[in-house]
Amino acid sequence: MRDLSILIIFLPLLSSLISGFIGKYMKNVLVHIVSVSLIAISTFLSIKIFYGFLFDNFDNLESTIYIWGNIGNLTLEIGLLIDKLTVLMMVVVTFVSLMVHIYTIGYMHEDDGYIRFFCYISFFTFAMLILVASNNFLQLFFGWEAVGLASYLLIGFWYKKESAIFASLKAFLVNRVGDLGFLIGIAAILFYFGTLNYIEVFDQVSGLVNDDFTIFIFSNLSISVITLICICLFIGAMGKSAQIPLHVWLPDSMEGPTPISALIHAATMVTAGIFMTTRMSFLFEYSEVALIFIIFTGSITCFLMGLLGIVQNDIKRIVAYSTLSQLGLMVTALGVSAYSVAIFHLMTHAFFKALLFLGAGSVIVAMHHEQNILNMGNIKKYMPVTYYTMFIGSLALIGFPGFSGFFSKDLIIEAVYHSHLFGAKFAYYFIFFSVFITAFYTFRLFFLVFHTNERMTEKIKLHLEESSSVIYIPLIFLAILSIFSGWFFIDDILVKDYFKDTIFVLKKHDVIFDLKKDFHGSHNMFLHGFFSMPCLMAYLGILFSWIFYCKKPEYSIYLKEKFNIIYYILINKYGFDILIQTIIVPAVLKIGLFFWNVFDKYIIDSFFVNGTAKIINWSAKRLRVLQTGYLYHYVFIMVTGILLLLFWLTFVLK
C-alpha cells in the first residue's frame, strides 16, 4: 500500500513535469494522452486502496519516506498517513481531476496555452494529494502553499486579461492572510508539543488540556493553548475554504478557465480547509471556544453567501456563490463535531459541483463564451445532454430526495439541530432557511438558461448545438455519482462508523450518536425526505423561482425596484470589496510605509547596516595610526601586552 500511495501522489507530478518541460516538443494530442493516462492510473490506484479499506479491512499506514533534516529533537520528514480519511480524499481529488483533464481536451483545444494548462492542473492535483496524505504539519504546510500557488497560476492563466491578473493576485493575497494564522498555529504546536508529527501531537493533547495551561493576553484575559492553536489553524481554513471575511477571492476566481473553476470549487483548494479541520479533530474537540467560533462563521457564510447568488447573472458566479454557501454548511457541521458528515457532504458536493461547473462550461462554449444568463433561454432544445445532467446536478445541490446532496445535507441539518453547543440553534435556523435560498437561485439559473424564451442573438442561435463528446462524457459520469454516491456511502458513515479510528469526537459532542438513533436505513430516509421540513423549503424555493422567472417574470422586476436598497447591498456583496479597497488596503499600506520609513530605513539600514560600516570605518581610521611600519613600535606593543597579561594572571585571577 505504501508504494501504491507514493505512485498515486507522484504520477500527477510526473504528468506536470512532462507537460511543462517536454510538452512543447510534443503534439497536443500526445500531451493530453500522457496527462489523462497518468491521472487515470492515479485514480484507479486510489479506488483500489479505497476498496481495500472498505471491504478488505486494510490497516492505517504511517510511514516516513525521507528525512531531510534534524534540528535537535525535531525531525523534518516527508511522510505518509494513509487512513480512511486520506483514501476518501484521494478518490475524490483524483476522480474529479480526471474528469477535468478529459473535459479540458474539448474546452481548451483552441487555446494557445493548452499544454501549459495541463501542466498546471496536474501540479494542482499533486499539491492537493501531498496535502491530504501528509503525516506532519510541515509537509501539510508545503501542500497548503503549493495549492495556493497552483490556484494563483490557474486563476491568472489568461495573463493578458487584466481582470484575471487582478483576480489571481487577490486570491493569493487574501490567502496569505489566512496562511499567516495557519503558520502561527503550526509554530505554536511546535513550541508547546516539541514535534510536528500528527500522531505524536495528538497523543500529547489530553495532557496539555489537563494541565489547564493558559496564555495571559491581558491581566484578566487569558486563552488556553489549545484554543489559541485551533483558532489560528481555523483562520488558515477560513482563507482556503473561503469563509467570511476571507471569502472575497472565490467569486473572482471565475476569471480563470471553467475547468479550473470546477477543480478549485469541487475537489482541491476550497476543500483543503474542511479536510484540515477534520484531520485536526483531536485538537478541536478540546476547545469549545474554537468550535463555537466555527459554528458562527460557517452558518453566517452559508446564509449570507447564498443570498448573493440570487442577484448574480453570470452563470459561473451563481455556481461560485453556491460553493461559498455549501462550504459554510460544511464548516457548520465541523463546528458541531459532525466531522464525518462534513466529509460526506464534501464528497457528494465535489461530484455535483464539478458537474454544475462543467455543465456551465458546456453552455458557455455553445454560446460562444456568453456567460450572462439573461442572454440565454430554452437551451434544452439544443443541448439535451447538458440539460439533463445540469438538472441532476441542480437537484443534488438543493438536496432533493434520492440525490446525493439530499443525504449529506439532511444529515448536517439534523446534526446541527441535535448539538448542545452555544450558537447551534442560531446556526440551525440560518442553514434551514439557506435551503430555500439555494433552491431559489439554483432553479433561477436553470429556468433562465434552459427554459423561458430564447434571448440569444440569431448569430449564436444559428450555431447553437450540443458540445462535443469529450465535454459531455465527464458530465454523464459526474451525474451518475451525483445520484448514487449518497446511497452508496451513507450506511458507512452512520452504521459502519467508517471514520471510527480516524476522527476523534468527545462523548459530550457526539451528535452522530443521535443521528444513528434516528436512522432506519437509506430507503426510509429517502421516503421520509419527501415530507421533511428542509425538503419542503426546497420545494418552495423551486416554486418561487418558477413563478418569478417563468410564470410571472414581472414580479421579479417589481421586487427588484421595490427593494432596491437590499438589491444594492447584495449586488455590492455587502460592501466587502469596497471596504477592503478603500479602507483596509490603504490602512495596511500606510502602516507598511511607516514601518519601512522608521524601522527599515532608519533603524535597520541607517543604524545596523550603514551604522556598522561607519563604526568600522571610524575605528579603522584611528587604529591604522598604530601601523607605523617601525619594528620597535611593534615590539613595544607586544611587551606591553605580555606585561598586562601577566598582571591579569597574577592579581586578577588570584
Listing DSSP states for 502-515 in one string gives: T----GGG-HHHHH
Model pLDDT, residue 213: 59
Per-residue pLDDT band for 34 (boundaries 50, 70, 90) equals very high
Higher pLDDT, 323 or 637: 323
Q: Which of 511, 526, 559 is the last residue of a domain?
A: 559
Model pLDDT, residue 219: 55
Q: Which of 527, 559, 591 is the last residue of a domain?
A: 559
Higher pLDDT, 206 or 43: 43
Per-residue pLDDT band for 211 (boundaries 50, 70, 90) equals low
Give yes or no: residues 549 and 626 share one domain.
no
571 located within any domain: no
Stretch 43-55: mean pLDDT: 91
Give yes or no: residues 527 and 583 share one domain.
no
Higher pLDDT, 475 or 501: 475
Residue 623 scores a pLDDT above 90: no
**CA distance linking residue 9 with residue 325, whole number of Å:** 30
Give yes or no: residues 535 and 640 share one domain.
no
Give yes or no: residues 555 and 592 share one domain.
no
Residue 212 scores a pLDDT above 80: no
Per-residue pLDDT band for 311 (boundaries 50, 70, 90) equals very high
Model pLDDT, residue 220: 62
Per-residue pLDDT band for 223 (boundaries 50, 70, 90) equals confident
Give yes or no: residues 586 and 554 share one domain.
no
On average, the pLDDT of the chain sits at 89
CB-based contact 487:407 (threshold 8 Å):
yes
Per-residue pLDDT band for 308 (boundaries 50, 70, 90) equals very high
Give yes or no: residues 583 and 555 share one domain.
no
Look-up: residue for cell 477535468? 100
259 located within any domain: no
Number of domains present in the structure of the chain? 2
- % pLDDT > 90, the chain: 55
Q: Is the dihedral of CA 9, 15, 18, 20 positive or negative?
A: negative
Give yes or no: residues 552 and 587 share one domain.
no
Higher pLDDT, 178 or 208: 178
Give yes or no: residues 359 and 432 share one domain.
yes
Which is nearest to 373 in space by CA: 464, 455, 449? Answer: 449
Coil/strand/helix, residue 75: strand
Give yes or no: residues 487 and 611 share one domain.
no
Q: Which of 502, 532, 559 is the last residue of a domain?
A: 559
Per-residue pLDDT band for 86 (boundaries 50, 70, 90) equals very high
265 located within any domain: no
Q: Retrieve residue 478's grid coordinates.
A: 459526474
Give yes or no: residues 500 and 632 share one domain.
no
Dump pLDDT digits (tens) for 498-531.
888 889 999 888 898 888 888 888 888 899 889 8
510 located within any domain: yes
329 located within any domain: yes
101 located within any domain: no
**CA distance linking residue 497 with residue 501, whole number of Å:** 9
Residue 493 scores a pLDDT above 90: no
Per-residue pLDDT band for 598 (boundaries 50, 70, 90) equals confident
Look-up: residue for cell 430507503? 523
495 located within any domain: yes
Give yes or no: residues 510 and 628 share one domain.
no
Per-residue pLDDT band for 221 (boundaries 50, 70, 90) equals low
CB-based contact 76:70 (threshold 8 Å):
yes
Which residues on adjacent β-strands are paired with residue 78?
66
CB-based contact 115:101 (threshold 8 Å):
no
Model pLDDT, residue 498: 86
List, in order, residues 6 or more apart from 558 with CB less than 8 Å away.
Answer: none
Higher pLDDT, 461 or 232: 232
98 located within any domain: no
Model pLDDT, residue 210: 64
Q: Which domain range does residue 603 map to? A: 578-652
**CA distance linking residue 94 with residue 184, whole number of Å:** 31
Give yes or no: residues 523 and 632 share one domain.
no
Stretch 346-354: mean pLDDT: 94
Which residues on adjacent β-strands are paired with residue 197?
136
Neighbours of 206 (CB within 10 A): 11
Is the preceding omega at residue 245 within 30 degrees of 0, hence cis? Answer: yes
